[in-house]
Amino acid sequence: MESLKIDLFSDMVFVFTPKGDVIELPSGSVPIDFAYRIHSEIGNKTIGAKINGKMVTLDYKLKTGDIIEILTSKHSYGPSQDWLKLAQTSQAKNKIRQFFKKQRKDENIEKGKELVEKEIKALDFELKEILTPENLKRVSEKFNFTHEDDMYAAVGYNGITAAQIANRLTEKLRKKRDQEETTIKEAVSELKSFPTHKKRDAGVRVKGIDNLLIRLSRCCNPVPGDEIVGFITKGRGVSVHRADCPNVDVSEAQNRLIPVEWESDGAVRKEYNVDIEITGYDRRGLLNEVLQAVNETKTNITAVSGRSDRNKAATIIMSISITNISHLQKVVERIKQIPDIYSVRRIMN
């Protein structure tokens, strides 16, 4: 009978939970298989394992009679791709694949939403007036998506372009705006009707015309030293763009362009917001060194975010306050001196 037992169960191992429950697994199984047999969330949050009270690596081959305790953390980022090679059971492998599939969808939703919002801004619309629940539902159904997240995910993995979605979302307001087009003469007349106290000090003036509402465009964030053009908007004054900004189509908007120039005394607005993108090798302390470098140039940082990919490439997006183009160049050159920095560029939204 003893020999028969060995023959029957030679391809299986019987292990115990800390509470004494018996779990049957194929021979060659590792703690990852055990964790996913208990529960998917236990598996996804696994950070280590104890066998008979001693710490072991996740590639440890389980033996009959082992008592297994899985160590988890709510701060775990989930399984790694290597786990697919370590796991022996199809159940564990399938649950690991499901995790990555869901994770990729979440990433695509985020990426797609970012791209659509960028296209809407490029069309010079406010996000809050376009991204309403009713409008999103209407456009999602128009493209045969059951939910807006599915639509964003499709944009994220290039199943549909962000421009297509943005054009659909803004079509009604674009038609309305096109009907309200005015000539430069009419627009300037309207601009002059703004009360003086509403005029913003942007450090820019319209040549030959005083007392106009002027604002710096957020899509290209012009700063003193940049070549600039003015664009007359309906009811919102003159929007100032960099001359190379792709959001100003000179051929289509010739009748709404107006000459503008920077104030020469520099006393109006001392600081201008600029977004820069820094890429480099993802190593410990890189972000701190970048922040320190910017601080050395006596530059205020208004926002910073970062991410890294599986190829150890880090991307840092930073918003800084600078006085002119020379100041910006000084900041860029200082960041480039940091080891492992690949590139620094000014972002055009």
pLDDT along the chain (349 residues), means of 10: 53 91 92 94 93 94 94 86 90 90 85 92 88 92 89 86 91 72 51 48 71 81 88 78 79 70 65 90 91 92 89 91 91 92 87
Burial of 198 (0-12, 13-18, 19+ CB in 10 A): exposed
The pLDDT, as a whole number, for residue 58 is 93
Domain with CATH 3.10.20.30 in the chain: 12-88
pLDDT, residue 188, reads 55
Signed CA dihedral, 81, 86, 88, 89: sign only: negative
CA angle 151, 41, 154 (to 5 degrees): 10
Helices (H), 247-302: 286-296
Question: What is the per-residue pLDDT for 181?
Answer: 47
Residue type present at position 349: N
Q: Give dist(CA 223, CA 228) in Å, integer.
A: 9
Q: How far is it, in rounded angstroms, from Cα 142 to Cα 165?
A: 10
> What would the two tokens of residue 17 be?
């939970």
- Domain 272-346 falls in which CATH fold? Alpha-Beta Plaits (3.30.70)
What's residue 233's pLDDT? 77
Looking at residue 159, its pLDDT comes to 80
Which residues pair with residue 233 across a beta bridge?
Answer: none
pLDDT of the residue at 197: 43
Comma-separated ranges of CATH 3.30.70.260 domains in the chain: 272-346
pLDDT at 331: 93
Is 12-88 a CATH 3.10.20.30 domain? yes
